[in-house]
Amino acid sequence: MTHLIAIGGSDAGISAALRARELDPSTDVTVVVADEYPNFSICGIPYYFTGEVAPWQSLAHRTAADLEAAGMNLRLNTFGTGIDVAGRKLAVRTPGGSTEDLAYDELIVGTGALPSHAGITGLDVLTPEDGVHVIHSMGDTFALDRFLDNHRPQSAIIVGAGYVGLEMAEAFTVRGLHVTQIQRGPEVLSTLDPELGALVHDELTTHGVEIITNTTISGIQKTAAGLNVTGIRSGSSFEQTADLVLVVVGVRPNTELLEQSGATLGAGGAVVVDEWMRTGLPHVWGAGDGIITHHRLLGPTYLPLGTTAHKQGRIAGENALGGDRKFAGSVGTQVVKIFDLVAARTGLRDHEATAAGYTPATVAAAADDHKRYYPGAQPISFRITGDTNTGLLLGAQLVGRRETETAKRVDTYATALYAGLTIEQVSELDLSYTPPLGSPWDAAQVATQAWDAAQRVSLARV
């Protein structure tokens, strides 16, 4: 019987524990969870604030009782404080504050990531009670919820315009707050090309969100007028005041435990693991947002995503029991819904492809989600990136209305990237068609044909 300990109650740790129990129900599995909310869907928190998800308990993928029924011993409110690698013992701080050593045969570390502060002063002293929030855990959620209830803020500044920032802009707007969203770069949702980010920008503006781009926030002060954020906007000083400030400027890997045990740090400051999820420390495995991600097009990178954490956790759980499975790698597929718009990407953008040694071209296209004669047809905007030497598909970005099946259309490209298909091969795919839901050449193929046509024109010009 293997005694497996997983540290981390989020996607990676729980996936590892579930997989181990699935493959060998005799495995003794302990999951060490820093708070009392194991297996909560952090991605769902914005929908708790919109009011679409209630009560908060429903955000649990599985309840504690479900997890225990699946054979896990849960150690809640418990922190891993040190690993005795040679002795195979994990030191933990118990809820009572004492220290305890837990023996293990195999240890899976899924300590995840922590919210980045991006050097903003004031974040270290101002608290949720002051109206300054991050949103990365159920504890953060409750703190924000309390602040909204107790202080009834009228206005919010959101620093950051990535996935969570945009989802929270929607949530605050739905709750009646006036939202100012501040973005360092030239356009919101900087994981997409600005041409597509601009569509998301419009959707936010349409719903009353005030967007301020090219602005870097350096400090937050509490003043009589409210919370005052200050920084630089396009070279000039910037300040704005609101009742609430939410800082969502990304995450940094939470590597302390593995780092002090001798693990190596790599891309993005995350712990290096191989494709079997081995940390290099004997019997210690890593998974999730604290480790590097093997990317099928980029190699090792740092790309923390819930989908990846689930897959890595599953691999770690299998290999910890003696399995020999490699993580197949990410292609960076991501999707977000913002009001009634869906924005998705997979693979590389042009500058990322160039940096990775490809010779890319990126071509824009638009195509209706279904036959125009059938009611409700709406265009999807595409940007397709391919390698001009090999014709390989390198990436795809899509923005469409919510009804356009954009989220699952990006999966066609994600599958093609996994399989290493060329852009021509995407045009050859036998995709589904019925007039209310598609076209004889699917919109995804209209886009790849546009890429091919652009290369022909470009060749003809040479």
Binding footprint of a second copy on the chain (CB under 8 A): 11, 22, 41, 43-44, 47, 52-53, 58-59, 163, 296, 306-311, 328-337, 342, 344, 346, 371-375, 405, 407-412, 414-419, 421, 425, 428-438, 440-442, 444, 453
Q: Which of 192, 199, 213, 198 is nearest to 351 (CA)?
A: 192
Nearer to a second copy by C-beta: 189 or 220?
A: 189
Q: How far is the CB of 397 from a second copy (least distance, A)?
A: 12
Residue 87, Cβ density class (10 Å: 0-12 exposed, 13-18 middle, ≥19 buried): exposed
Least Å from the CB of residue 82 to a second copy: 30
Shortest distance (Å) from residue 5 CB to a second copy: 22
For a second copy, which is the closer residue by CB, 142 or 433?
Answer: 433
Q: How far is the CB of 195 from a second copy (least distance, A)?
A: 20
Which CB atom, from 243 or from 452, has the smaller least distance to a second copy? 452
C-alpha to C-alpha distance for 132 and 122, rounded to whole angstroms: 9
- Please say which residue, 216 or 333, places its beta carbon nearer to a second copy: 333
Q: Which is nearer to a second copy, 257 or 447 (CB)?
A: 447
Q: Which is nearer to a second copy, 79 or 163 (CB)?
A: 163
Least gap, CB of 78 to a second copy (angstroms): 24
In whole angstroms, how far apart are CA 85 and each of 106, 249, 288, 426, 447? 10, 34, 20, 48, 52
3-state helix, strand, coil in the chain (%, to 5): 30, 30, 40
Distances (CA, A) of 205 to 200, 335, 344, 379: 9, 20, 19, 20
Mind giving me the DSSP string for 324-351? Answer: ------B---EEEEETTEEEEEEE--HH
Beta carbon nearer to a second copy, 262 or 436: 436
Closer Cβ to a second copy, 59 or 292, answer by number: 59
Give the nearest distance from C-beta 90 to a second copy in angstroms.
Answer: 26
167 with 43: CB under 8 angstroms? no
Nearest distance from C-beta of residue 75 to a second copy, angstroms: 23
Q: How far apart are CA 210 and CA 204, in angstroms?
A: 8
Which one, 227 or 417, has the nearer CB to a second copy? 417
Outline where DSSP puts E strands in 348-388: 360-368, 379-387
Residues 6+ apart with CB under 8 A from 52: none
Q: Which of helix, strand or coil describes residue 239?
A: strand
CB of 354 to a second copy, least distance (A): 22
Q: Identify the H or E element spanning 240.
A: strand 236-242
For residue 284 the two structure tokens come to 């210690």
Q: Which is nearer to a second copy, 29 or 444 (CB)?
A: 444
**Sequence letter at residue 323:** G
> Nearer Cβ to a second copy, position 8 or 131?
8
Least Å from the CB of residue 231 to a second copy:
29
CA distance 378 to 374: 10
List the one residue out of 184, 191, 303 whose CA is nearest residue 247.
184
For 219, 237, 338, 404, the CA distances from 353, given in Å and listed in that order, are: 35, 35, 27, 28
Backbone φ and ψ for 136, nearest 5 degrees, come out as -140, -5
- Find out whether 83 and 91 touch, Cβ atoms under 8 Å: yes
The CA distance from 276 to 325, in Å, is: 6
Q: How far is CA 459 from CA 103, 190, 265, 345, in A?
A: 64, 31, 44, 27
Task: Give the nearest distance from C-beta 151 to a second copy in angstroms.
Answer: 27
Q: Considering the complex, what minimum distance in angstroms separates the CB of residue 134 from a second copy? A: 20
